[in-house]
């Protein structure tokens, strides 16, 4: 049975995250201290003692989840993946855990990504919404039919749960149409902007330069990437998909389905929370789930 290690994205943070690791492992402590030096501020203090509001800031959230996830993988005695994948931000954690990027380079890219996304959010008011209980095709068609605003599917999380992203007017209009089409719920999310939409183009351009400058190595196993839900091991392909990720949807449902088709029978969530285990359970019947 093949093991798939999966890494969470934004939203899985919690107050006190990583404190147990810091206190119980010298190796973990070294990574946390290194992260403070790389970022130039005391992120561990915010992770361990900060308020929920402080943890929600994009420039804190993304590095914090990345650090927590990667440290768990690095200090795990039996980290032996046959394949890895990460949800949005989690793709960077997956790449570092699989040896395609160093911890230093991965963290610098995540910090650059968070900063670039924050700046893109400020250029135009935008938001996201979770659509529950409607099929993908209907959501895609309704979003495509709104031509005077920007609104697109952003996260295919599991069957019956898709997140849409775009301008505030576009998302609100889509929510009304989707509810009329039979969606059980259409919930506006408390996020700073339209992630994984064309509105992230300025961030994509900024991040592309940093990704192309970073030192990548071949990963120790295939990385199933968000953009196309396919396994990648070639450095050029990994970089291309990573750059495209900011403006393209996260195909999480399709990624899990492909990993199962390729033999994954055990999914190990590596990071704060158990959000991804809940999604995998709704996507794939009969697989084993655990976390580290």
What contacts 137, CB < 8 A, 6 or more positions away? Answer: none
Catalytic residues: 88, 196
Q: How far apart are the C-alpha atoms of 197 and 177, rounded to whole Å? A: 19
CA distances in angstroms from 81 to 32, 159, 280, 290, listed in the order given: 23, 26, 17, 13
Distance of CA 209 to the CA centre of its chain: 20
Q: How far apart are the C-alpha atoms of 120 and 114, rounded to whole Å? A: 10
Phi, psi angle pair for 271, to nearest 5°: 155, -175
Name the β-bridge partners of 84.
5, 223
Q: How far apart are the C-alpha atoms of 170 and 219, rounded to whole Å? A: 39
């Amino acid at each position: 049975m093949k093991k798939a290690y999966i890494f969470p994205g934004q939203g899985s943070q919690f107050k006190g995250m990583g404190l147990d690791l810091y206190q119980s492992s010298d190796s973990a402590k070294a990574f946390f201290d290194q992260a403070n030096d790389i970022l130039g501020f005391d992120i561990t203090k915010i992770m361990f003692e900060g308020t929920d509001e402080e943890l929600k800031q994009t420039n804190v959230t993304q590095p914090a989840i990345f650090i927590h996830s990667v440290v768990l993988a690095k200090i795990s005695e039996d980290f032996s993946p046959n394949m890895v994948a990460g949800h949005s931000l989690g793709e960077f954690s997956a790449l570092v855990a699989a040896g395609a990027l160093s911890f230093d380079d991965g963290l610098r890219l995540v910090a650059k990504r968070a900063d670039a996304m924050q700046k893109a959010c400020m250029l135009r008011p935008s938001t996201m919404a979770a659509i529950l209980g409607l099929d993908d095709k209907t959501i895609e068609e309704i979003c495509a039919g709104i031509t005077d605003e920007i609104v697109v599917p952003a996260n295919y999380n599991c069957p019956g749960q898709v997140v849409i992203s775009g301008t505030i007017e576009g998302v609100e209009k889509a929510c009304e149409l989707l509810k009329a089409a039979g969606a059980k719920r259409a919930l506006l999310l408390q996020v700073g902007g339209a992630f994984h939409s064309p509105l992230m183009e300025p961030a994509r351009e900024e991040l592309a330069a940093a990704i192309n400058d970073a030192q990548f190595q071949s990963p120790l196993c295939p990385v199933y990437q968000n953009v196309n839900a396919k396994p990648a091991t070639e450095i050029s392909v990994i970089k291309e998909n990573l750059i495209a990720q900011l403006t393209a949807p996260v195909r999480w449902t399709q990624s899990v389905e492909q990993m199962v088709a390729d033999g994954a029978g055990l999914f190990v969530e590596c990071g704060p929370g158990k959000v991804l285990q809940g999604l995998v359970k709704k996507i794939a019947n009969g697989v084993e789930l655990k976390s580290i």
